[in-house]
Structure 1
Amino acid sequence: MKKLQFNSPVVLTFFFISLAALILGTITNGTTTTVLFSAYRASLTDPFTYVRFFGHVFGYASITHFFNNMLLLLVVGPPLEELYGSKTLISGILATAVISGLLQFILFPGSMLLGASGIVFMLIMLSSLSGAKAGTIPITLILVAVMYLGQELYSIFFIQDNVANLMHIVGGVCGIGLGFVLNRSK
């Protein structure tokens, strides 16, 4: 009989925290999602404002939103965690979460940000750099960046929806930055 393996602690913990946040949000009719798991402009005297700077990556508006992000996280995350280690992956996730949370707070006072799309795009861009040799720029990075950034820019200018495309780009830039830092240290 085969044993189950907790093969990617950071990614799986992220998944289960997000699932718990989704369930709590459903049970509380969105209250916990708003209070803990969404980034938006609020008073700096509110201690939850600081929690939301990184907690927003665990919040979801719907089960579909959750599945879309978690599927990609579960596919892209574990190989990166194995390659770079859990501490590095946590650092990248926290940095991306805080940067996107702060930018949301500063630039978009009238809207909320929630979900792990920025984290997922950080991982996608990081994975496109994962095989790079120091001092090189992989063609896969260029192709992924052009396609990804092109799609996000198109969406920003021509599609009116509730998707935080700029924060997707921020996540992608964080992934590129992390990838170059990691490859330089090789």
Structure 2
Amino acid sequence: MKRLHYNAPVILTFFLLCLGALLLGALSRGWTTLHLFSVYRAPLSPLFLVRLLGHVLGHADWDHFLGNMLLLLVAGPPMEEKYGSRALLLGIGLTALISGVLQCLFFPGTVLLGASGIVFMLIMLSSLAGMRSGSIPLTLVLTAALYLGQEVYAILFVSDQVANFMHLVGGACGTAFGFAAARRSAPP
């Protein structure tokens, strides 16, 4: 008889935390989503520090959650296998912190929540997975061109509630993480 295997502990735990945050938001009629799982400029407090990292766990509704989680569950496990759980957790934490701080600095009147920055970090990281010393993968160039084009178009011409700038931040974090990891693993 086959058993289920918790094959990507960071990605699966992240998924479960996001699901828990979504359910808590529904049970609290949005209170926890706004006060724990969203980031916005506010006075420095313990809750603000929680929100700086916790905003990546919050989602506005099931559609928002499903859109992010499907991509997370596709792109995340291979990246966790390649780079390791600890390194991926660090990448997720840094991406959350950087996007949270930038949100507060550049968009003080708006609220940010959702895992799309983390998802875009994973997408750009996956495009670097086959990188060899001294070369840039064509998949990176194509992914970056399509991704950047789509996000810049959305920033300029689409009026919606999507934080396209934070998608770019997540993509930049994934690219930086991938190049740093490749540099560490390259022979001297």
The TM-score bracket by the shorter chain reads: over 0.9
- How far the C-alpha of 1:136 sits from its partner, in A, is 1.4
AA of the residue aligned to 1:171: G
1:37-93 Cα distance to aligned partner (Å, 9 max, x none):
00101111x211111111000000000000000000000000110111000100100
- Looking at structure 2, the residues matched to 174 and 32 of structure 1 have their Cα atoms a distance apart, in angstroms, of 27
Task: Report the 3-state secondary structure (helix = DSSP H, G, I; strand = E; otherwise coil) of the residue aligned with 1:58.
Answer: coil
- Identity across the alignment (%): 59
TM-score, reference length from structure 1: 0.98
Which residue of the partner structure matches residue 30 of structure 1? 30
AA of the residue aligned to 1:133: R
Task: Report the 3-state secondary structure (helix = DSSP H, G, I; strand = E; otherwise coil) of the residue aligned with 1:3.
Answer: coil
- How far the C-alpha of 1:185 sits from its partner, in A, is 1.2
AA of the residue aligned to 2:31: T
Alignment gaps of 5+ in structure 1:
none
Which residue of the partner structure matches residue 133 of structure 1? 132
Matched, 1:95 2:112: no
Deviates more, 1:123-132 or 1:46-55: 46-55
Alignment length, in residue pairs? 185
- Looking at structure 2, the residues matched to 184 and 41 of structure 1 have their Cα atoms a distance apart, in angstroms, of 36
Which residue of the partner structure matches residue 180 of structure 2? 181
CA contact (8 A) 1:25 1:31 kept: yes
RMSD: 0.5
- How far the C-alpha of 1:134 sits from its partner, in A, is 1.9
Which residue of the partner structure matches residue 40 of structure 1? 40
Which residue of the partner structure matches residue 114 of structure 2? 115
**TM superposition outliers: structure 1 runs of 4+ over 3 Å:** none
AA of the residue aligned to 1:149: L
AA of the residue aligned to 1:16: L
- Looking at structure 2, the residues matched to 96 and 31 of structure 1 have their Cα atoms a distance apart, in angstroms, of 24
